[in-house]
Amino acid sequence: MTEISRDNPLLFFGCGNMGGAMLDGWIAGGMDPAAFIVVDPMAQSLPDGVWHFADASQVGRKVGVGLIAVKPQIFGQIASQLEAILSADALLLSVMAGVRVETLQAALPGRRFMRLMPNLAAALGKSPLGLFDPSGDAVLREEIEALLNPLGTPVWIAEEHLMDAVTALAGSGPAFVYRFIDALAKAGEALGLEPAVSSTLAKAMIDGAVDLAVGSDTSAEELARRVTSPGGTTAAGLAVLDTGLQQLVNGTLKAARDRGVELSKPD
């Protein structure tokens, strides 16, 4: 895979929330907007300089590197459009949850595929990037890591079926965190805080706690222990939280994982 450039652009087939976050992350990381082609009739407010087409037939060239970022349910409908604009040996990254490599290869024979699961923090360069590569090509993996580094932290997954777990944890996970922040803020309101004050406190607390956890080699379990004094306020809160938190989170991720498995099955 040669370096992405105006002469060797990266094709976005679909550029909704996830695709848009990745595009923003790459451009914020210094990549040339003209090194990207977006095919998406609904895409709006794309960065200046990005090539944008409503339909694949308008692209007018073959591309060798692409990102498939459409809803998995419609992949079968758009595969023929991709076929028309891909080079015979194109490399494609798929961010479609649940769509297996064998399904991709059957629809677009001859091409190379990797599966990728980022999240919206790619726009900030802070996304986990779960990757599955069936080829085992070490050189190609290094090139892909270099391409993805502006978006966050690449993590290679050894077995494809585990991508459903990656999707549940790293892909869907931000929504679960946002719900927890919202629950904290609403709990603060229930204790008498003004809504804006409670929301600000909850977000600032999460921001600091996450930075501390990410920047430390200490486990999250140990960090929680250090905050907790025997018989203190934190201990009183944890006595309630710990009665069902792990079971709730286990069930949450399992439900998300199982949905990914369902999406991989033929209709």
Task: Answer whether residue 50 shows pLDDT above 90.
Answer: yes
CA distance 43 to 21: 12
CATH (one of 3.40.50.720, 3.40.50.300, 1.10.3730.10, 3.40.1180.10) for 173-262: 1.10.3730.10
Q: How confident is residue 1, by pLDDT bands cut at 50, 70 and 90?
A: low
Least confident of 90-94, 121-125, 185-189, 259-263: 259-263
Domain boundaries, the chain: 10-159, 173-262
- pLDDT score for 222: 95
Other CB atoms within 10 A of residue 157 CB = 16
Same CATH topology for 10-159 and 173-262? Answer: no
Helix (H) or strand (E) holding 84: helix 75-85
- pLDDT score for 267: 62
**Assigned CATH topology for domain 10-159:** Rossmann fold (3.40.50)
Phi, psi at 163, each rounded to 5°: -65, -25
Q: Would you say the pTM of this structure is higher than 0.85?
A: yes
- Burial category of 25 from C-beta neighbours within 10 Å (exposed 0-12, middle 13-18, buried 19 and up): buried
Burial 70-97 (b: 16+ CB within 10 A, else e): bebeebeebbeebeebbeeebbbbbbbb
Task: Answer whether residue 266 shows pLDDT above 70.
Answer: no
DSSP secondary structure, 61-77, as one string: S-EEEEEE-S-GGGHHH
Task: Answer whether residue 113 shows pLDDT above 90.
Answer: yes
Tell me the average pLDDT across 81-101: 92
DSSP secondary structure, 172-237, as one string: SHHHHHHHHHHHHHHHHHHTT--HHHHHHHHHHHHHHHHHHHHT-SS-HHHHHHHHPPTTSHHHHH
- pLDDT score for 136: 84
